[in-house]
Structure 1
Amino acid sequence: MSQAGTTASSSGGDLPARADVVVVGAGITGASVAHHLARRGVSVVVIEQSPRSGAGATGRSGGMVRAFDPDTAIAELALPSLAAYRDAGRWASGQAPLHAVGAVTAADRAQESAFREAAGQINGALRTSAHVVAEREEAAGVRLAGGVALVEPEAGWVAPAEVTADWLVQARADGAVVRHGVRVLEVEERGGRPAVLTDAGVISAGAVVAAVGPWAADPVRGLRPASPVRSRSIQVSIVERRPPAPPHATFVDLRTGLYAKPVGTDRTLIGMPHLVWDAPFDAQPDPAHAQATVSALTAHFPWLTTAAHLSTVRATDAYGPPGGGGPAAGLLEGTGVPHVWSVRGWNGGGVKTAPEAGRRIAEACVADAFCEAA
C-alpha cells in the first residue's frame, strides 16, 4: 500500500499526495466503495466537490429499499443490500438504518407467477415473509387498482444521507481520508497510473473510482465513461397524511412508475417519472407535474384528494446502460485513462444497491490488483 505525502487542501486538511485509490464523489455509492476498500486495508482518499457528503442525488433520494427489482442484475445487488440495511452490526451507529415499514411492488396480473417465484427466492435468502397479494383491493395501506402485488413486510426505506455519513465514519476509522470542497479538474495518465489534478493539489493514485452520479453526464477530462450517461429529472412532493388516512408501506407501481413512501407518522413522499432529460440539477420544480402526481396516485391513496401539499423538490439522477469490461462487470466502466473507472448510472436504483455494489467494487479492486500503489 502506498505511503502518502501531503499537499495543501482547500477543505481544511492536508490532501495526501499518494493513495492506492481515489474515490471521486461522496454520495452513497462512493461512500460504500470507500468503506469497503478501507476495511480491506487499502489507502483511500475520497474527494467531494460539495461542502458536505450526499449533497447531490443522494441527498434528494427517497431512499426506498426492497429486495425485488424487475431488472435481475439490480435484484442480485438489492437482496444482499437489504440484508445489510437490516443488520445493526454493520453500522457505526450500532443501529440498523432500515425503517421497516414494508414495501409493495404492484404490476399487471400477468406478473403473478414471477412475483411468487421472487417471493420464494427472497424468503429463502433472507428468512423474511414476502408474499403475493392477487385478489385483494388493498395491501399494506396501498390500493392496488386492479393489479397484483409483491409485499415485502421486512423492507422499507433508509435515510440516504445518514447511511452515507455512517460509511464515511467507518472509512475514516479505517484510515481513509475524506476531503470536502475539493474540485477535480482533470485526471490524466502519468507513468501508466492516474494522477488526479484538483484545485487543492495533485494525487498520484493506483486507481480512481468515479462515483459522481448525474455529473457523469458532463465529466471533467479523464472521467468520461465508455458508455454515454444522461441526467434525468426527478421530482417528488411531500404531503401531509392526516387521520383517517392509514399508515402505508413504500410503494412502486411497475405499470406506471408511480411511487410513494411514508415520512414519519404524518407525511408521505410521492413521485412519478419526470421524463425531462439533460436538465440541470438545480432546475426549478414543475408545478404541473406535481399536480399530476397527486392526481395519478389518488387511485392508490384516496386520501390524497384532501392532503395538504407541503413541499416539492427537484433534482436529477444518472441514467445509462450497465457497465462492462471492468474488473467488476456491470458495475464499472473504463474511461480511457488506465486504471480509472466510472461507476455505472443506477437509473434511480443507487440507494437500494449501494451496500452490495460498494462491496463488489472494492473486492474486485483488491482481487484484480488494479489498485496497487502508484
Structure 2
Amino acid sequence: MSPDRILSSGGGELPARVDVVVVGAGITGASVAHQLARRGVSVVVLEQARRPGAGATGASGGMVRAYDQDPVVAELALPSLAVYRDPACWASGRAPLHAVGAVSVADPGQALALGEAAVRINGALGTSARLVADRAEVCGIRLAGGVALVEPEAGWVAPTEVTGDWLLQAGADGAVVRHGVRVHEVAARGGRPVVVTDAGEVSAGAVVAAVGPWAADPVPGLRSVTPVRSRSIQVTIVERRPPAPHHATFVDLRTGLYAKPVGADRTLIGMPHLVWGSPVDAEPDPVHARATVSALTAHLPWLATAAQLTAVRAADAYGGPAAHGRAAALLEPTGVPHTWSVRGWNGGGVKTAPEAGRRIADACLADALTELA
C-alpha cells in the first residue's frame, strides 16, 4: 500500500466501533497508532488537517539525542534514539536519522553531570558520547564559554517523514487513518467513550488525544485534569554558504538557543519565544527572527552575514511533569471514562515519540480491553 493512499485517506465511512480511537495525527499520535496496530488492536486515527504533522510536529526542529536535563525525558529519549537509528523499524527500510552529531552546551559547573550522562548513554547504546570541556569549538559549534556533551551518533529527523512512516505502518496493520475529519465531542455512553465527528460517530474501548497545542482549548470531553498551555515556537531557515562549516545539531542548555543543519546549504535556528496562548497558525514575528540570528552568532559566527530564507511559526503544548518511570503518567485523565489526553511535551515530542508511543499504547491497550464487552 502506498504512503499516498494511506495519508490521503479522508473518505469512507468510519467504523461504528473500535478498540482505540487516536485523535491527532502528529508524531506522537502516529507513534501510538503504529504501536497499537502492530499488536492487532483495532484503531481509528482522526486528524482535522488534510495532512499529517500539520501543527507543532511540522514546525519542530526535529533534533534527537539521548541526553536531556529532565530525567523523565532522558529515560524516553535514549531508547527513542535507538529506534531512530534502526532501519528495521521503518517501512521505508532506512533509518530516518541524519546522524550529523548532537552538541549539548552547558555551564562548566555541569561538567561532572554531563560526563556521567555520556557513560550511561554509551553503556546503553554502544555509542561514543563524550564530554568536551577544554575547547572553544566542537563539531562546527562555538561553545561560548560552556562545556559540551557530544553525541556523534545523534542528529535530527524530519518529523513529518517519521509521522508518515508510522501512519503507513499502522494502515498496513489494519488501522483506519482519516484526515480532514473534525472531532466535535467525546461523550460517555454506557460507560465507554463515543467520539462524535463530522463524519459520524465511533464507539471505542478507549480514546487517546494527542492533539498538541489544541489541548489548551479542547473539544468537550478531552479536557485533561492538568491544564495544557500553548506556547509559540518559531524557527528561521538561513542559507549556509562556504566558508560556513558543516555543523552538528546543538542546543545551549543555558539559553535555549538551538540549531540544526537542513541539507547541504541551509540551517534551521531557533530560540525560545515566550508568547503563551499563541495560536498554531500565528504569523511569524520578524523581531524574534532577527533576535534569533543575533543571539546565535556567538555559536555560529557566519550567521552575521547569512541570508534569512524563511521563518515558520506554530505553537507547542506545555503541561505538567510526568512521574518518573510511570507509563500511565504520560497520559492525563479527562472527564470521560477511558478517555485520555497525552501530556504536553514542552517541546520534546519528537525526541521522545518512539518510546512514549510504545508506553502510551501499552497503557491504552490495557484500558481499552478491561471489561470491554
Q: Is this contact kept in 2: 1:260–1:271, CA < 8 A?
A: yes
Q: Percentage identity across aligned positions?
A: 78
Partner of 1:98: 97
**CA shift digits 1:51-106 (9 cap, x unpaired):** 11111111111100000000000000000000000000000000000000000000
Local SS of the residue matching 1:79 = helix
Q: How does 1:32-43 map to 2 (within 5 A)?
A: 32-43=31-42
Query: What are the ranges of 5 or more consecutive residues in structure 1 without an aligned counterpart?
Result: 1-9
1:219 maps to 218
Partner of 1:360: 359
Partner SS state of residue 346, structure 1: coil
Aligned to 2:248: 249
1:265-300 Cα shifts (integer Å, max 9, x gaps): 110000000000001111111111111111100000
**Structure 1 residue 317 corresponds to structure 2 residue 324:** no
* 1:166-216 superposed Cα distances (whole Å, 9 cap, x missing partner): 001100111100011110000010000000000111100000000000000
CA contact (8 A) 1:21 1:371 kept: no
Cα distance in structure 2, aligned partners of 1:198 and 1:147? 51
Q: Give how far 1:371 is off.
A: 6.3
Q: Counterparts in 2 of 1:171-190, with a 5 A limit?
A: 171-190=170-189
Residue in structure 2 matched with residue 140 of structure 1 by the alignment: 139
Shift of 1:373: 4.5
**Counterpart amino acid of residue 183 in structure 1:** R
**Most deviating of 277-286 and 185-194:** 277-286
Structure 2: stretches of 5+ with no match in the other structure: 1-8
Q: CA RMSD in A?
A: 1.4
User: In the alignment, is residue 14 of structure 1 matched against residue 52 of structure 2?
Assistant: no
* TM-score of the two chains, using structure 2 as the length reference: 0.95
Distance 1:15 1:151 in 2: 48
**Aligned counterparts, 1:1-374, within 5 A:** 11-323=10-322, 328-368=327-367, 370=369, 373=372
Of 95-104 and 314-323, the range deviating more from structure 2: 314-323
Q: How far apart, in 1, do the equivalents of 2:372 and 2:328 lie?
A: 23
Report the CA distance between 1:364 and its aligned residue.
Answer: 2.1
Relative distance call for 1:182 and 1:368 in structure 2 (3 A) is closer
Question: How far, CA to CA, are the matches of 2:263 and 2:371 in structure 1?
Answer: 45
| Amino acid in structure 2 at the alignment position of 1:306 | T
Taking structure 1 as reference, are residues 293 and 135 closer, same or farther at Cα in structure 2, changes over 3 Å only? same
C-alpha displacement of 1:328: 2.8
Q: Secondary structure at the match of 1:365?
A: helix
Letter in 2 for 1:55: A
1:186 and 1:369 mapped to 2: Cα distance? Answer: 19
| Distance in 2 between residues matched to 1:284 and 1:79, nearest whole Å | 34
Distance 1:111 1:254 in 2: 10
- In the superposition, the TM-score normalised over structure 1's length comes to 0.95
CA distance in 2, matches of 1:202, 1:40: 24
Whole-angstrom distance in 1 between the partners of 2:340 and 2:192: 12
Query: Number of paired residues?
Result: 364
Q: Give the letter aligned to residue 59 of structure 2.
A: R
Task: Assess if the C-alpha contact under 8 Å between 1:102 and 1:151 holds in 2.
Answer: yes
